A and B are shown apart, each in its own frame.
Chain A
């Protein structure tokens, strides 16, 4: 019955089914959001070796650390191996079983003009050898007056021939007399000694390594340094872009030696476009000594710092950095006081001097730019998402919207450009054609970049492969050199959205 009423028949098989008419949907897509505090932004710079910290005032400072001196005073502990020998002529007959006492005083050389107070041997040894008219049953007993082991006077006995005595734990306490006082006792239980017998005794002293020495040394120079600071934070900046109002170079030292140490900067300079320029000033020439460590048994290192800042350098640190120098160089050495003072030196005691260039983010910026690039293959996006049913020609316009919320006291000028696979810039958009748009400090701003179908048609054959972005920062009244303070938690927030307007005429009817 119904068949007879059928007016038309249409074939709905997919092969022959086409759509006709205009199709003009618009899609708005939130692409993503970024909220970057000043502190987080600086973390991005970690890859360049730049660290940051929150200052006590809640601001931010970036810093670079570098090593100036890292050494020990082990040279001052080293005592050269020394030997001593003497022939002992028996003055009278000595019956068997009777000991012959022989007191001796031997010289001992100490290094670096050391006037010894005391000394502790770690693993030394003492070699003893007898020769000459030595009876087979010789018993030689040796006692060294200045030496003790755990508070007990150091003494030992050996027979004929050669023997080695360990000196581990021997403490040498000087008693005011020159050299070592030594008592020898010779005895033979079987034959005794005859007058005129000659017994030769030799000793070799090996005191290294030494745990510690207490005494006084003559003045000496050590720890030479010649350090160039790379200044990565300023890398690539044109002079006048960044002005830091209160930079400083902090020198810090750790002294594990019980002697006062004097750092000496013999030369300070920075690299300019025309060569090295000298840095002078009281803070260069008048450097306080590094205090000595205290407490030999539980060493408390001496801590020290010295700051080079605008108050004591010529030119000022601000002026130096504003010139965007490639590097800054410090040369010099360390000396001991050398005035007869006493102190101590322990094994492997560190003597370390480091520098830290600190740039508190307070000042002004003029067109300081961050840049980065992300891969963006729009051809692929279209082919994958629309399965080739759409082409560039169906896109009426694409608008990339950036909603900036700038809580930083810094104006930001965003910039985007499309690049090809070789990173050549194909097109750049600002808001408007040629006007710079800054997002003022503390303001929100919507910035649209709209590219039309015609522009897309021009660009598409060029092969867009990357989207590069840059944020150029400038503080208010940078021209007037007005300083601003950047709180660590102040953020620059960005929300990105994409609006695609399709305008496709699928098929003409």
Chain B
């Protein structure tokens, strides 16, 4: 019996997220809150856009509080339209919309979180054209993809000739830490680049790969054919509850290591227009410790019902014969679907994200600035960028003390979300928050008992939140720049390499 009570909190978190991911269907644009990527005063906006440059000369993230992200993805089930008040105080569940939602070909549910343990950065170079950053970030991500075919069974059954393809089924959970060093540099007035190298330290991993499964019902004789293949591989999940794995070893000395790189560039097309190209999470972790891989080669199981033999054949369904036969069929199934278990090291790539973005300043006042921005962000998983999102939004800044961003996000899965972001600078103290659907969407309360209830957004395929506190340095008020004339501008080009502009604002 494993003593889960002895687990330390980090493992509890992983376990909880893993269970959550398995219970739900998710596909996460995990750990990146899009609305935060446009808060250019905030150094963490470069998490997704490493080619962008924060509008400051240095920062020190408040330990453990500089960046907290939470994100939930759910395209499986939305409460909106599913429930009606019952005639006697109960609740009516409407089957039609329930079936429509659950049986869509692919739905998503996911959960992820990350926390920056340490973060700081400073500018350097003769004119401050370089910006160096250091970061330690803990990342947890769990997602599962459940095919709609699973829900076809209870709602639509398995009519003759049907094929329930469950190959879209996917599971993935990962817990790792990044130790990052970044270098951001302005190259004249029109180009800014950023690169960040991350050393990865893996703690837990679980993944279902190359999964194929289909259940077909023969149109003629109703016989079943089940075909399946795939592999489930894990690291760090098998020693739960084993006291020999010390906390120190768990936190610092696991032998699961890797590297990744984030890079990007932003190009100024004019004084008002910029475009950028960014890539993050380009790398992999090599898992070597506490490994377990269960691999099922392509296997099939054909079921044609019991074979009746002998003069007592028709008594088959009476007495113990049926039970004996079922036991035999299960044994046959068990022998047909035999996974091979091994403990070989393996590598797992991080889901790389590629972003193409642009911004245009259409209002440039003395103490404020308003811009229109848009981006396309693709997630490379499974060989393509079929999982993507695009957004279009407005950003407004007041004297560099307050930044506000609103954007409408459209996702490849066919839904949209409203994102908002707010950054507030009070002297050196900076607080920011960004969220998708968390605040503006209406919510529904569900009561499970007299004192037990929970709330869900009526319709929010994505729920995300990112917030944090930093101490920032070298920030200049927006109006200070505005007071400078053309001559000053020329001087400033030489002395202050377009950091503001390349951050997406005016110079």
Q: Are A18 and B90 in touch, CB under 8 angstroms?
A: yes
Q: How far is the CA of A40 from the CA of B311 in the complex (A)?
A: 9
Flag if A401 contacts B221 (CB, 8 Å). Answer: yes
Q: How far is the CB of B473 from chain A (nearest CB, A)?
A: 32
* B315 nearest CB neighbor, chain A only: A374
Is A34's CB within 8 Å of the partner chain B? yes
Chain A contacts for B90, CB-based, 8 A = 11, 13, 15-18
- Asked whether A29 is an interface residue with its Cβ less than 8 Å from the other chain, the reply is yes
Looking at the complex, which one of A18, A34, A374 makes contact with B92 (CB distance below 8 Å)?
A: A18
Task: Assess whether A2 is interfacial by the CB under 8 Å rule.
Answer: yes
Stretch touching chain A among B39-47, B80-88, B345-353, B377-385: B80-88
Contact of A506 among B95, B155, B309 (CB under 8 A): B95
Report yes or no: A18 in contact with B304, Cβ–Cβ below 8 A.
no
B244 at the interface (CB under 8 A from A): no
Binds A, one of B157-165, B286-294, B486-494: B157-165
Asked if A436 CB lies within 8 Å of chain B CBs, one says no
Chain A, residue nearest B90 (CB)? A16
Given the known interface contacts A11-B90, A34-B307, the answer about A6 and B445 at a Cβ–Cβ threshold of 8 Å is: yes
Cα A23 to Cα B157 in complex, Å, equals 10
Interface membership of B449, Cβ < 8 A? yes
Q: Is the CB of B159 within 8 A of A28?
A: yes
CB within 8 A of A11: which of B91, B162, B221, B224? B91
Q: Is the interface of A mostly helix, strand, loop or mixed?
A: strand
Whether B1 sits at the interface, judged by CB under 8 Å, is: no
Contact A21 B91 (CB under 8 A): no
A8 to B422 CA separation, bound complex (whole angstroms): 28
Apart from the given pairs A11-B89, A19-B94, A22-B96, 15 other A-B contacts in the complex at a CB distance below 8 Å: A2-B443, A6-B442, A6-B443, A6-B445, A11-B446, A13-B90, A16-B88, A16-B89, A17-B93, A18-B92, A21-B96, A24-B156, A26-B156, A31-B305, A33-B305
Q: Is A295 an interface residue (CB 8 A)?
A: no
> Which of A2, A33, A34, A507 is the one whose CB lies under 8 Å from B455?
A2
- Cβ-neighbour of A375 out of B88, B220, B317 (below 8 A): B317
Q: Is the CB of B444 within 8 A of A7?
A: yes
User: Nearest A residue to B154 by beta-carbon distance?
Assistant: A25
Q: Which of B155, B217, B316 contacts A23 (CB 8 A)?
A: B155
Q: Does A107 contact B (CB under 8 A)?
A: no
User: Is B284 part of the binding interface, using a Cβ–Cβ cutoff of 8 Å?
Assistant: no
B158 nearest CB across to chain A (Å)? 6
Can you pick out 21 interface pairs between chain A and chain B where the beta carbons lie within 8 Å of each other? Answer: A6-B445, A8-B458, A13-B90, A13-B447, A16-B88, A18-B92, A20-B93, A28-B159, A30-B221, A30-B303, A31-B305, A32-B307, A33-B305, A34-B313, A46-B311, A374-B318, A469-B314, A495-B221, A497-B305, A502-B157, A509-B92
Residues of chain B lying within 8 A (CB to CB) of residue A499: 159-160, 222
Which A residues are in CB contact (< 8 Å) with B316?
Answer: 32
Decide if A43 touches B311 in the complex (CB within 8 Å): yes
Those of B455-485 within 8 Å (CB) of chain A: 455, 458
Residues of B with C-beta under 8 A to A297: none
For B10, what are the chain A residues with a Cβ–Cβ distance below 8 Å? none
For chain A, residues 484 to 509, give those with C-beta under 8 angstroms from any C-beta of chain B.
Answer: 495-499, 502, 506-507, 509
Q: Are B222 and A33 in contact (CB under 8 A)?
A: no
A372 to B311: give the CA distance in the assembly, Å.
10
A400 to B305, CA, bound (A): 14
Chain B count of residues within 8 A CB distance of the other chain: 55
As a 0/1 sequence over residues 248 to 281 of chain B, the CB contacts with chain A under 8 angstroms (1 = contact) are: 0000000000000000000000000000000000
Does A25 contact B155, Cβ atoms closer than 8 Å?
Answer: yes
- The contact of A20 among B84, B159, B441, B442, by CB within 8 Å, is B84
CA distance A509 to B154 in the complex (A): 21
Q: Which residues of B contact A506 (CB under 8 A)?
A: 95
Per the bound structure, the CA–CA distance linking A139 and B155 in Å amounts to 115
- Residue A433, interface by CB 8 Å: no
Q: Interface size class for chain A?
A: 35 or more
Q: How far is the CB of A46 from chain B (nearest CB, A)?
A: 7
Interface residues of B (CB under 8 A from A): 83-86, 88-96, 154-160, 162, 217, 220-224, 303-311, 313-318, 439, 441-449, 453, 455, 458
**Residues of chain A with a CB closer than 8 A to B93's CB:** 17-20
The interface residues of chain A lying within 8 Å CB-to-CB of B160 are 26, 28, 497, 499
Residues of A within 8 A of B (CB): 1-3, 5-13, 15-35, 40, 43-44, 46-47, 372-375, 401, 403, 446, 469, 495-499, 502, 506-507, 509
A residues in contact with B223, CB < 8 Å: 30, 495, 497
Say whether B448 contacts A12, CB under 8 Å: yes
Contacts A10-B444, A18-B86 given; indicate if A509 touches B94 (C-beta within 8 A).
yes
Contacting pair B220 A446 (CB below 8 A): yes
Q: Are A25 and B157 in contact (CB under 8 A)?
A: yes
Q: How many A-B residue pairs have CB under 8 A?
A: 167
CB-defined contacts of B89 to chain A, threshold 8 Å: 11, 16
Contact of A28 with B222 at beta-carbon distance under 8 Å, contacts A16-B90, A21-B95 already known: yes
Residues in chain B near residue A43, CB distance under 8 A: 310-311
Q: Do A509 and B448 contact each other (CB < 8 Å), given the known contacts A18-B90, A28-B222, A495-B221?
A: no
Shortest distance between the CB of A45 and any CB in chain B (Å): 8
Give the complex CA separation of A5 and B457 in angstroms.
Answer: 9
Whole-angstrom distance from the CB of B41 to the nearest CB of chain A? 24
Asked if A22 meets B95 with Cβ closer than 8 Å, knowing A28-B158, A28-B160, the reply is: yes
Contact yes or no, B448 A13, CB < 8 A:
yes
Nearest opposing residue in chain A for B91, CB measure: A10
Q: In the docked arrangement, what's the CA distance between A20 and B304, Å? A: 35
Measured between alpha carbons, how far is A33 from B309 in the docked complex, in Å?
9
Residues in B whose Cβ lies below 8 Å from that of A9? 444-447, 453
- Residues of A near B444 (CB, < 8 A) are 6-10
Whether B317 pairs with A29 at a CB distance below 8 angstroms is: no
Which A residues are CB-close (under 8 A) to B158? 26-28
B304 touches A30 (CB 8 A): yes
In the assembled complex, the CB of A417 is this many whole angstroms from the nearest CB of chain B, namely 14
Is B304 in contact with A16, judged by CB distance below 8 angstroms? no
CA distance A75 to B315 in the complex (A): 53
In Å, the complex CA distance between A97 and B310 comes to 88
Q: Is the CB of A47 within 8 A of B311?
A: yes
A17 interface neighbour in B91, B159, B442, Cβ under 8 Å: B91
Q: How far is the CA of A97 from the CA of B264 in the complex (A)?
A: 150
Q: Are A7 and B443 in contact (CB under 8 A)?
A: yes
> Which of chain A's residues have a CB closer than 8 A to the CB of B458?
7-8
The residues of A that contact B308 with a CB separation of less than 8 Å are 32-34
Q: Quick one: given A7-B458, A16-B88, are A403 and B94 in contact (CB under 8 Å)?
A: no
User: In the complex, what distance in Å separates the CA atom of A341 from the CA atom of B259?
Assistant: 113
Q: Which of A10, A26, A28, A446 contacts B83 (CB 8 A)?
A: A10
B77 to chain A, nearest CB (A): 13
Docked complex Cα distance between A31 and B217 (Å): 13
A35 to B314, CA, bound (A): 13
Nearest residue in B to A15 (C-beta to C-beta)? B90
Question: Which residues of B are found within 8 Å of A502, using beta-carbon distances?
Answer: 157
Give the CA-CA distance A509 to B93 in the complex, in Å: 9
CB closest residue in chain A, given B313: A34
Provide the residues of chain A in CB contact with B84, threshold 8 Å: 20, 509
